[in-house]
Amino acid sequence: MYPGERLRFDILNPICMFLLCSLGLLFVYSAQISYDGGHWKRQLFFIVAGVGIYSLVSALNYKIFLQYAHFIYMAGIVGLVLTMPFSPISVDQMGARRWIDVGITIQPTEGAKIGTLIMAASILARSEIGTVEDSLIVLAKVAGVFLLPMLLIFLQPDLGSSLVFPPMIFALLYVSRLSEKFFLSAFAAFAIALAVLGADIYGYSQHLEAQRTAERSGSAEEKSMVDDYQSLLPIHNYQRNRILTFVAPDVVDPSGTGASSSHNYQRDRILTFVAPDVVDPTGAGASWNANQAKISAATGGLSGKGLFRGTQAQLGYLPQAVAHNDFIFSVVAEETGFLGSAFIVGLFCLMVANGIRIAGLARDRFGMQLAIGVSVLFLVHFFINIGMTIGITPITGLPLPFLSYGGSFVLSCFILQGLVQSVYRYRKDFS
């Protein structure tokens, strides 16, 4: 313990974690009770292991992570690189490579989130933000730290996990010493960058259409005019193809058998949200999970059907593959109704609000950045997961912290909350 610091312990977040984990075990069991699934046993193991990791992380002074931020960040990046197709230990499921097999299956994305947060917080804590030049340098460093893992996660592809990074980076910048005008300027620059990228992708799509038109015409002269696509952006055409696969698959792969074939389920997820009648007119295909999730939430009523009495998951309407993880909140809503769902949401809100409170109590920039970053990361997961259950956000595959089944994700949640507890325990005391 450093001079001027006093050991304390925050009890509020651990209580919320205990309640959420206990309820999560019950609902994971309920979601699989009809076919005697054993996921709840593995979930119990992950929770016990997570408690141990939480105790260790919270016992460490968070300033230690400031010293080793670079190593933690690089470990996360290496993990993401190992998910690439050339890696012998990467695991391919449904056209996505998000896991590595080292005897046990690990999802490096979760570790990358932690490493990125710690690295960005360390940069903002160590940097002097005074002049415009200083601010631009810091902004460039933070942007680079976030963009690298975002790109690697996007290429897996995992659109949902990549979505958690922008809110986190802007939250960290907002609570830093950047002026309001400079922060708004940074946000505007981000929007302009997206617009420039969008214009480039649109130009490339027009180029592809021109190529196909020339090929159909059979004219050598027309073919020679559209051979190369010129752009000032340092983006390869295969990367443009990956983006187009999400937003305009018919342009990059009209037959649906090439570049876009392995990404159909992801496009369907987006279309299911914005135009379900287009992708699934009968409601029995791509939009099935979303429809059944909303039915589960709607049929719960005020107090629910009772624990272990939900029909959507137990009768298989809500598929076994998703009921215990991505759509666990649907099981909660059906069995406990509005009251139980409101209780769960209340625990989440209390945890996030307490994390923000701890950030305000921190007396150094690194501690404040860590607590804010964790709180925002959890908030994004809460909002997107619950939102997709009730139909206000697209289905992205983001799990619900402490409730959804998972190994790497559950452990990462305990690590992140351990960081918040460490900030509270080892914050400077000037009183």
If one compares 338 and 156, the residue with the highest pLDDT of the two is 338
If one compares 341 and 391, the residue with the highest pLDDT of the two is 341
Please count the residues of the chain.
Answer: 431
**90-93 and 105-106 as β-strands: parallel, antiparallel, unpaired?**
unpaired
Q: Provide the residue ranges of all domains of the chain, joining segments of one domain with +.
A: 12-425
pLDDT at 125 over 50: yes
pLDDT average, residue stretch 391-413: 82
- What are the residues whose beta carbons fall under 8 Å from the beta carbon of 257, sequence distance 6 or more? none
Lookup: tokens for 273:
């949200």
Q: What is the pLDDT of residues 60-83, one digit of tens each?
A: 999 999 999 999 999 999 989 888
Which residue reads 């369907």 in tokens?
268
Q: What is the pLDDT of residues 92-123, one digit of tens each?
A: 765 667 778 777 788 888 899 999 999 999 99
pLDDT at 225 over 70: no
Q: 279, 285 in Cβ contact below 8 A?
A: yes
Helix (H) or strand (E) holding 8: none
Peptide bond into 157 cis (omega under 30): yes
Say which range, 85-89, 100-104, 240-244, 359-363, has the weakest mean pLDDT: 240-244
- Picking from 379, 372, 377, the residue whose alpha carbon sits closest to that of residue 121 is 372
If one compares 404 and 186, the residue with the highest pLDDT of the two is 404
- Picking from 291, 281, 312, the residue whose alpha carbon sits closest to that of residue 390 is 291
pLDDT at 50 over 80: yes
What percent of the chain has a predicted confidence (pLDDT) above 70? 66
- Residue 3 corresponds to which amino acid? P
Split at pLDDT 50, 70, 90, the class of 402 is very high
Q: What is the pLDDT of residues 253-293, one digit of tens each?
A: 555 444 444 444 454 544 444 444 444 444 444 444 555 55
